[in-house]
Homo-oligomer: A and B are copies of this chain.
Amino acid sequence: MQAELVTRSLGRAPARRPASPAGHRAASAVARRPQVVIIGAGFAGLNAALGLAGAPVDVTVIDSRNHHLFQPLLYQVATAGLSPAQIAMPIRRVLARQKNATVLMETAQAIDPATRTVTTCTRTLGYDYLVVATGARHAYFGHDEWERHAPGLKTIADATDIRARILTAFEKAEVARTAEERMRYLTFVVIGGGPTGVEMAGAIAELARKALVNDFRTIDPSTARIVLVEAGPRILPAFAEPLSRAARRQLEGLGVEVMTGVAVTDCRQDGVTLAGGTVIGSHCVMWGAGVMASPAAAWLGARADRAGRVVVEADLSLPGHPDLFVIGDTAHVPDGKGGQVPGVAPAAKQMGRHVARAIAARLAGRPAPAFRYRDFGALSTIGRKAAVADFGRLRLTGFPAWLMWGLVHLWFLVGFRNRVIVFLDWAWAYATFERGARLITGR
């Protein structure tokens, strides 16, 4: 999502009494209701919209994509386990029965807090309350040229691209003319030891050692080299230290080389260079090393932290703009324990629900409550029967953690149907070691 901050007069719709964005069907009946505009339908924005289902407002959700994405399972699309449609739902399907909600598949081009308007390609919408939930993208710390060679994982297109890269690497290895070329195609480098990197490395290792193992004639896919490179002292730094160690042990059990305390100094088409000069030859490098918030701070002229996140008030509103909220990965929110609320799905959902309550309170003439983050713990999967779970006092590893991970993710998958189909796919994969979506697509 791209936007620029413009100052423009209101155009068609006065700020206090904006035209209903719900269009001609709803226009006559509800034109006098307060207008809530939500930009972005990730976990934060979608939950804000759902939380306003019973409120006497008109909600307009703007997103440049037609679907809400269950990002925690995106790595399974990238590693051929699930199909895109299994972890994505049309936003308007989710909100179909919520009659006060309208969905526009458009890009927000400008926000003007002074006139309380949002401008898209086709219209200028007046708002009484604005919710900015535009998420984050991967960041290359000043090396944007690395993106071509080490793509990150945020969208379905990212995931199907990475899937094609991984599967193509095995195909190219099968027809490689030299041993050196073959090894380069059979080497996979994942940069960044957070949950995404750990999940990717584990899933590629399982793909190579299990799902593909009988399918080739020249190469032995199980000889593939999978390297996880983390610049910090340990992987999964958000977890307790013993769990980091357990995760590392489980990854190594799958045959992943885990390198910690090693920074990447260059990414090229044929490999990466590490601090110290070591070169790892690879035609398949993936990036999970960092994210940067969408540039909402620039659109809003607001103060941001180093990761680009907008610094917000206790109720998640923008300082000086009690009618404008910034939530999800775009917001910098203290967690009350000296740290910050992490950029994870449960936190985004809680912020979305909070904003819905805050708007309802304001409408009722009450002050908006302060946001309080409830930390339900952290889960990360590594592979078959391998995961770590950190619930503060309760820490799990191995099979119990993996089972819990599976149940939690199934539970939170939007839509009953997707839950059933994903469960069947997982059950099938568990029984057969196969992967259901080994497709190389694209032109």
Residues of A within 8 A of B (CB): 22-26, 65-67, 83-86, 88, 90, 92-93, 96-97, 102-106, 120-123, 156-157, 160, 167-168, 171, 174-177, 214-218, 417, 420-421, 424-425, 428, 432, 434, 436-443
Contacts and interface: CB of A to CB of B under 8 A. Distances in A.
Given A23-B217, A217-B25, A421-B421, A439 B93 contact: no
A124 B51 CA distance: 63
Given A83-B85, A85-B436, A437-B85, A97 B214 contact: yes
Given A83-B86, A215-B93, A443-B157, A417 B436 contact: yes
A104 B176 CA distance: 11
Contact of A215 (B92, B171, B432, B434): B92
Contacts of A66: 167-168, 171, 438-440
17 contacts: A25-B218, A65-B440, A66-B171, A83-B83, A83-B86, A85-B437, A88-B439, A90-B438, A93-B215, A93-B434, A93-B438, A96-B214, A96-B215, A103-B215, A106-B175, A122-B175, A421-B424
Give this chain's copy count. 2
Given A103-B174, A120-B175, 11 more contacts: A25-B217, A26-B217, A66-B439, A67-B439, A67-B440, A92-B215, A104-B175, A122-B175, A123-B177, A157-B443, A421-B436
Contacts of A90: 215, 438-439
Contacts of A84: 83, 437, 439, 441
B436 A174 contact: no
Contact of A218 (B23, B421, B424): B23
A174 B104 contact: yes
Contacts of A441: 84, 156-157, 160
A224 to B, nearest CB: 16
Contacts of A160: 441
A46 to B, nearest CB: 15
Contacts of A120: 175
Contacts of A93: 215, 434, 438
A64 to B, nearest CB: 10
A61 B214 CA distance: 16
Contacts of A26: 217
Nearest to A91: B215
A80 B417 CA distance: 15
Among all A-B residue pairs, the 5 with the closest Cβ atoms: A23-B218, A85-B437, A83-B83, A105-B171, A92-B215
A81 to B, nearest CB: 10
Contacts of A83: 83-86, 437
